[in-house]
Amino acid sequence: MIKAVIFDLDGVLVTTDELHFEAWKTLADKLDIKDFTKADNVRQRGVSRMASLEVVLEKTDRAFSEEEKLALAEEKNEIYVSSLSALSETDVLSGANEFIDYLKSKGIKTAVGSASKNTPLILEKTKLAGKFDAVSCGLDTTKSKPDPEVFLIAAKKLGVAPCDCVVVEDSDAGIEAAKTGGMYAIAVGAAEYNPKADVAIKALESLYRALTIFA
């Protein structure tokens, strides 16, 4: 019996995945890396800021010290955060608010489970803050997806056993994390073809039907 739904943030609830790509692209251009593409960006979904940086640096022969890498990650974050200034409730993906309200009406708990350290800022700007029973994000974790830590912390904050949780994810790392954590996984968007997911959907409007599979 499903007692909680844990939502990934970037690419599931909010369109910030595109802003992450643009910020990494700006950094790549500055490093004279010309072939950083959307295909590379798919591998950055769900993983930490530092792991995402490695995807960019794979494209150059230049070597960087740990200190330089931290500075590059910080530079990307500054570009990304400044692009968040225009973020508003119109950037919440279609169907998200309605589905969260539906879950509440059914007594099913909700949480955010995101790798992003910018989660509180994004929730505030999109007026999603306060809609969830719990928030677990990159500020709570020491290990990032595909490690299940972020989702296990969410489940613990909710007081729900992992086997009674469903995770909605757009990244392969996130699907892996949910399954390793003993949860059900619904894949959406970029993770649509992940064979480890229990169900795949094209858009959030299909979540109602997807949820009946676990009932």
**Which residue ranges make up the site for Mg ion (CB under 5 A)?**
8, 10-11, 46, 170-171
Whether the CB-CB separation of 179 and 185 falls below 8 Å is answered with yes
Nearer to ligand B16, 45 or 109 (CB): 45
Q: Which does 52 bind (CB under 5 to 8 A by kind): ligand B16, Mg ion, none?
A: ligand B16
Asked if residue 118 binds ligand B16 (CB under 6 A), the reply is: yes
30-49 per-residue burial string, b: 16 or more CB within 10 A, e: under 16: eeebeebeeebbbbbbbbbb
Which one of 115, 154, 167, 197 is in contact with ligand B16 (CB under 6 A)?
Answer: 115
Q: How far is the CB of 172 from Mg ion (least distance, A)?
A: 10
d(CA 68, CA 11): 28
Q: Which is nearer to ligand B16, 105 or 142 (CB)?
A: 142
List binders of ligand B16 among 172-211 (CB under 6 A): none
Q: Which stretch binds ligand B16 (CB under 6 A): 48-56, 128-136, 154-162, 183-191?
A: 48-56
Neighbours of 214 (CB within 10 A): 15
Residue 125 to residues 14, 85, 88, 121, 152, Cα–Cα distance (Å): 11, 8, 5, 6, 26
Round the CA-based radius of gyration of the chain to a whole number and report it: 17
Other C-beta atoms lying within 10 Å of the C-beta of residue 187: 26
Given candidates 108, 123, 125, 138, which one binds ligand B16 under the rule CB under 6 A?
Answer: 138
Minimum CB distance to ligand B16, residue 103 (Å) = 18
Chain residues in the site for ligand B16 (CB under 6 A): 8-11, 20, 44-49, 52, 77, 114-118, 138, 171
